[in-house]
Amino acid sequence: MFLHAKNMVGGYGETTILNNCSINVKQGEIAVIVGPNGAGKSTAMKAIFGMLDLRQGNVFFDGEDITYLSPQDRVKKGMGFVPQTNNVFTSMTVLENLEIGGFTNLDKIKSNIKEIFNLFPILEEKQKQIVGELSGGQRQQVAVGRALMTNPKLLMLDEPTAGVSPIVVKELFEKIINIAKAGIAILMVEQNAKQALEISDNGFVLVQGENKFTDKGMTLLENREVRKAFLGG
Amino acid sequence: MDFFNAIALITNFILLPGLTYGSQLALGALGVTLIYAVLRFSNFAHGEIMSFGAMVCILFTWLGQSYGVSFGFLPTALLFVPVAMIFTILYCMLIEKFVFSYYRKKKSNPIIFLIASIGVMFFTAGLIRFIIGPSDQSFNDGVRFIFTVREFKTLTGLNEGFGLKTSQAITILTTIILCSLLFFFLNSTRTGKSMRAFSDNEDLALLSGIDPNKVVLLTWIIAGGLATFAGVLYGLDKIYKPFIFLQMLLPIFSAAIVGGVGNPLGAFIGGYIIALSELFVTFAYKKVLGYLLPENLEPTTMMQFLSTDYKFAVSFIILVIVLIIKPTGIFSGKTI
């Protein structure tokens, strides 16, 4: 197992949001966390990334126990994270956003930028533009691009399609599949549960911070209970 | 001819002093705006840090002069600016270590930082009075004028003229050089971009592997360096008065806010806006209008909007107007 978050318990302050939650991701696969509002999806991701102290449980990444590492150190270990909001440097240009992502690995900066421009051609076109002036979908691409610049082995996306139009959602998912094909494991939290499960290898359905269902994405889609409860029939 | 006389008058009494004073304000405002953008608080101690820089420079200038050091036709003090910068930056680091780092670790509200900075301001002011005393110090040696009003008049044959003080030329040139360097640093170097990124989005900057301690340190180095220059240049141009730096806080903050606080280009432009408005409003236009208007329309009064005693009111009024009409300033501020 590439990422193995085991029996996580934790929350903000006194409250407990995660209740024995486990998330596993294999190398090169797409895993999706879905669930109703307030189920602790984003919290689970934050816990995996070290932005939340766990009361119980462990996080193993690439065979190493990283439970007590800071988010910055996890970035160095090969975790990339795209937060849901404030995930770009709005006052800086597209190119600068990518460069800053690459400061941890200077000799690969140029080749990485080239790869990201291949993946998101629109960014190459707009590289001199201030990110604050871009559309929501384009910003999201910048955000993913910045995270990819850190050479992650696992890319974590917190609701990458929040607030972008349906056509762009489809496009973004295609890009995500392409990233996974390049060998980068992907873990994402998604509101567009149906579409996300369709492209995913593994799905985790969380309810009140607990794993309710864990299965292949397609199997979950066919599961009547999951459909009824979370996917609208 | 009359037209050129009027231009010469305005250049001598508004333009040159305005650009000089504006440069000093711009250097001060840049420090304020950088600290606001990166460390996220309004540093009220900045005026006294300028004063501290000027004081150290004066002390070393005296020491140098006693050993017979001189800088030809330029003020000796310029030679000792680098030394003064080092001391001022060290002082800033001490403040950071003993005052601000505590609140940064606690993630205190910016208002707490502001109050702490007022404390630092009073402490620094006291320290300065203790070391150099409360009285004025003149330390400008070297040649006073590059060319005087009289030389200008004999050269051009005009009735009026303008002179260029050495300190004015030095101030304006130094400011242009320093600001160009700063803008180059912020826009084109890796460290500068890291600073801007940190200012834009601290959390994301951390996730991109930017070291916050390095950014904080660098901000103090730049702010302290600029403050030293601002203090020394102000002292060279006018006179070093420990008391003046508390009063200068208002125009400096106005400059930063008019331009858009957190935006270095805004602080730079804001300095000149404040300085030139102060002089435009407090200048007596009697003579200028005498040259420009037909003879029978010559004004009999001073034609002055405001007495020079009220010059601080000008920056205050501009500040209020900006805060009411466009609180983000000319270049929408808050990030660098």
Q: Is B331 among the domain residues?
A: no
Q: Is A43 among the domain residues?
A: yes
A112 touches chain B (CB under 8 A): no
Going by their DSSP bridges, the two strands A185-189 and A202-207 should be labelled as unpaired
B37 touches chain A (CB under 8 A): no
Q: Is B299 among the domain residues?
A: yes
DSSP string, B4-73: HHHHHHHIIIIIHHHHHHHHHHHHHHHHHHHIIIII-S--TTHHHHHHHHHHHHHHHHHHHHHTT--BTT
Query: Alpha-carbon distance B147 to A213, whole Å?
Result: 86
Q: Can you name the residues that pair with A188 across neighbouring β-strands?
A: A32, A157
- Structural domains counted in chain A: 1
Residue A221's CATH number: 3.40.50.300
Q: Is A144 among the domain residues?
A: no
Q: Is B205 among the domain residues?
A: yes
Those of residues 198-217 in B touching chain A at CB distance below 8 A are 200-201, 203-210
Minimum Cα–Cα distance from A102: chain B residue: B208
Minimum Cα–Cα distance from A143: chain B residue: B204
Q: Hey, are the CB atoms on B197 and A89 less than 8 Å from each other?
A: yes
Q: Is A222 among the domain residues?
A: yes
Helix, strand and coil content of chain B, in percent to the nearest 5, comes to 75, 5, 25
Please, are residues B34 and B42 in contact by the beta-carbon 8 Å criterion? Answer: no
A130 touches chain B (CB under 8 A): no
Chain A CB contacts of B205 under 8 Å are 89, 100
Tell me B99's DSSP state: I
Q: Is A50 among the domain residues?
A: yes
- Structural domains counted in chain B: 1
Name the minimum distance, in Å, from the CA of A72 to any CA of chain B.
5
Q: Is A91 among the domain residues?
A: no
Q: Can you name the residues that pair with A135 across neighbouring β-strands?
A: none
Tell me A12's DSSP state: S
Residue range of the domain that includes B167: 2-325
Cα A159 off chain centre by:
7
Query: Alpha-carbon distance B46 to B253, whole Å?
Result: 10
CA nearest neighbour of B185 among B213, B229, B232, B225 = B225
Residue range of the domain that includes A226: 1-78+200-233
Helix (H) or strand (E) segment spanning residue B165: strand B164-165
Please, are residues B6 and B158 in contact by the beta-carbon 8 Å criterion? Answer: no
Q: Is A130 among the domain residues?
A: no
A72 touches chain B (CB under 8 A): yes
Q: Hey, are the CB atoms on B209 and A146 less than 8 Å from each other?
A: no
Q: Is B332 among the domain residues?
A: no
Please identify every stretch of chain A with a pLDDT value under 70, giving residue numbers as ranges: 231-233
What pLDDT score was predicted for residue A233?
Answer: 55
Query: Residue B225: what residue type?
Result: G
Q: Hey, are the CB atoms on A99 and B203 less than 8 Å from each other?
A: no
CB contacts < 8 A (A, B): 58
pTM (two decimals): 0.89
Q: Hey, are the CB atoms on B201 and A90 less than 8 Å from each other?
A: yes
Q: Is A137 among the domain residues?
A: no
H helix intervals, B67-109: 81-95, 101-105
| Helices A109-119 and A136-148, packing angle to 10 deg | 150
Q: Is B212 among the domain residues?
A: yes
What pLDDT score was predicted for residue B14?
Answer: 93
pLDDT in tens, chain B (336 residues): 788 999 999 999 999 999 999 999 999 999 999 999 999 999 999 999 999 999 999 999 999 999 988 888 899 999 999 999 999 999 999 999 999 999 999 999 999 999 999 999 999 999 999 999 999 998 988 888 998 989 998 988 888 889 999 999 999 999 999 999 999 999 999 999 999 999 999 989 988 888 899 999 999 999 999 999 999 999 999 999 999 999 999 999 999 999 998 899 999 999 999 999 999 999 988 888 888 888 888 888 888 888 888 888 999 999 999 999 988 888 876 644
**Residue B148 exposed, middle or buried by CB count within 10 Å (0-12, 13-18, 19+):** middle
Residue B86's CATH number: 1.10.3470
Cα distances (angstroms) measured from residue B61 to each of B73, B137, B165: 15, 12, 20
Chain B CB contacts of A79 under 8 Å are none
